[in-house]
């Protein structure tokens, strides 16, 4: 089955793949130009989700944004500011995403960590809906000292009810593969397929790919050919319809390091040129791209500008 022609139907909790007819070669029309990819970054929101976040986005030239809606490295949750939420929602031309706190671990064997993870992710999803976010990014988690299979089963048990509660109009939950450290549940594109399979290919489960994580996990994307091969592999294993966001980060460490160390675009071991593939490849073209590179504002603006130049050079700018 070709994932580019895969659609998902929901039957209770089971999701089944359905193949749509593929036109014979004689009926193929010229391929349309790839859609224009929004390029932006993770923006600071201390001082106001919109008041500070939107001002920062404008200064760095962001066409999409990612934000935290709580403590990035803690469990504390709280209500949002309705005025700030409304201001952010009013920027309808600026796709927004939420990054859930780093402590969340859906596969944790510790019941206390598991309960806090579910509560924290539930909060991030609710806040994502309130600000009109397209997706909520969460790290896929770790089995810690346990078996990966058991950890994946726990993650599926905990994420399933949250996904079911989203309905069809809420933000998608975007699963972010990690750098391959320890007993993480998901690092490579093949791992993504296994993770989604555990979730029965839930229609509200999408994916956020982080280039630095993929590189650390062993995908050698330090060339245009390597980036294409990774995206081809994702399309074959998962399907383009699942990709909701790309974190475009260079890597401060070599391929296969299994350590998450971001670098500015072109200043790391991936280099700038491979990122051009994101804007023309059929799996990723049109999917929003955000940088999470070392800041502050000046380097972020330079990274966004560098990606825009690559987009222009790809013919999709």
Return binding residues for Zn(2+).
99, 139, 176, 210, 213, 247, 260, 262, 292
Of the candidates 156, 246, 172, which has an alpha carbon nearest to the alpha carbon of residue 209?
A: 246
What is the distance between the alpha carbons of residues 219 and 283, in angstroms, rounded to a whole number? 16
Tell me the pairing of strands 14-19 and 6-11: antiparallel
| 157 contact partners, CB below 8 Å, separation of at least 6 | none
Give the three-state DSSP class for 91: coil
Residue 263 per-residue DSSP state: E
Residue numbers in the known binding site are 99, 139, 176, 210, 213, 247, 260, 262, 292
Give the three-state DSSP class for 205: strand
What spatial distance separates the first Cα and last Cα of the chain, rounded to whole Å?
Answer: 32
What is the distance between the alpha carbons of residues 282 and 284, in angstroms, rounded to a whole number? 6
Is the peptide bond between 155 and the residue preceding it cis, with omega within 30 degrees of 0? no
Q: Which two tokens stand for residue 236?
A: 């074959």
**Contact criterion met (CB below 8 Å) for 121 and 100:** yes
Q: Which residues pair with 66 in a beta bridge?
A: 42, 97
| Cα torsion 123, 124, 129, 131: sign | positive
Q: Which two tokens stand for residue 198?
A: 């555990």
**Contact criterion met (CB below 8 Å) for 192 and 155:** no
């Amino acid at each position: 089955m070709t994932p580019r022609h895969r659609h998902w139907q929901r039957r209770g909790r089971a999701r089944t793949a359905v193949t749509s007819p593929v036109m014979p070669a004689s009926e193929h029309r010229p391929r349309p130009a790839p859609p224009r990819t929004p390029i932006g970054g993770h923006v600071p929101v201390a001082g106001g989700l919109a008041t500070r976040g939107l001002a920062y986005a404008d200064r760095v030239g962001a066409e999409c944004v990612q934000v935290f809606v709580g403590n990035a490295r803690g469990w504390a949750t709280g209500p949002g500011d309705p005025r700030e939420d409304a201001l952010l929602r009013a920027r309808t031309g600026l796709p927004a995403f939420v990054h859930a706190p780093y402590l969340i671990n859906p596969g944790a064997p510790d019941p206390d960590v598991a309960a806090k993870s579910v509560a924290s992710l539930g909060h991030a999803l609710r806040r994502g809906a309130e600000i009109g976010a397209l997706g909520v990014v969460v790290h896929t988690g770790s089995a810690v000292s346990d078996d990966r299979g058991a950890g994946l089963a726990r993650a599926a048990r905990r994420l399933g009810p949250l996904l079911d509660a989203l309905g069809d109009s809420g933000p998608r939950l975007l699963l972010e593969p990690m750098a391959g450290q320890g007993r993480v549940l998901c690092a490579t594109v093949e791992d993504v397929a296994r993770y989604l399979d555990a979730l029965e290919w839930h229609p509200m489960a999408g994916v956020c790919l982080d280039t630095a994580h993929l590189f650390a996990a062993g995908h050698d994307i330090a060339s245009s050919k390597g980036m294409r091969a990774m995206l081809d592999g994702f399309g074959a294993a998962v399907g383009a319809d699942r990709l909701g966001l790309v974190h475009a980060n260079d890597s401060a460490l070599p391929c296969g390091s299994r350590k998450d160390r971001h670098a500015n675009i072109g200043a790391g071991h991936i280099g700038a040129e491979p990122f051009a593939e994101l804007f023309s490849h059929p799996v990723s073209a049109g999917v929003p791209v955000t940088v999470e590179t070392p800041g502050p504002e000046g380097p972020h603006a330079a990274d966004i500008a560098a990606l825009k130049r690559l987009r222009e050079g790809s013919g999709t700018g």
